[in-house]
Amino acid sequence: MKARVHIMLKNGVLDPQGDAVRHALGALGFDGVDGVRQGKVIELDLAETDAAKAEASVKDMCEKLLANTVIESYTVEIV
């Protein structure tokens, strides 16, 4: 079973990488991009076959290691 975790900075947290990407897009002629938020995606291959147990396990992984829950939010997708 596979799990995909999407991690983004929470609203209100400054995103200097996103600002750099927005600025670079403007410099390349891509006008009209008012904001960019950069995040990360982590894909996990799991031995678990029960989707509910897999999701609970991945959420535990996020809380303990994968995401900094003070400044980041995450979503878990079982695929």
Domain that holds residue 7: 2-78
Angstrom distance (rounded) from CA 30 to CA 34: 10
Question: How many separate domains does the chain show?
Answer: 1
Give the pLDDT of residue 12.
94
Give the pLDDT of residue 8.
98
Residue 66's CATH number: 3.30.1280.10
CB distance 46 to 57 below 8 Å: yes
Residue type, position 30, single letter: F
SS (H, E, C) 7-62: EEECCCCCCHHHHHHHHHHHHCCCCCCCCCCCEEEEEEECCCCCHHHHHHHHHHHH
Q: The pTM is what?
A: 0.88
Instruction: Report residues of the chain scoring pLDDT below 50.
Output: none
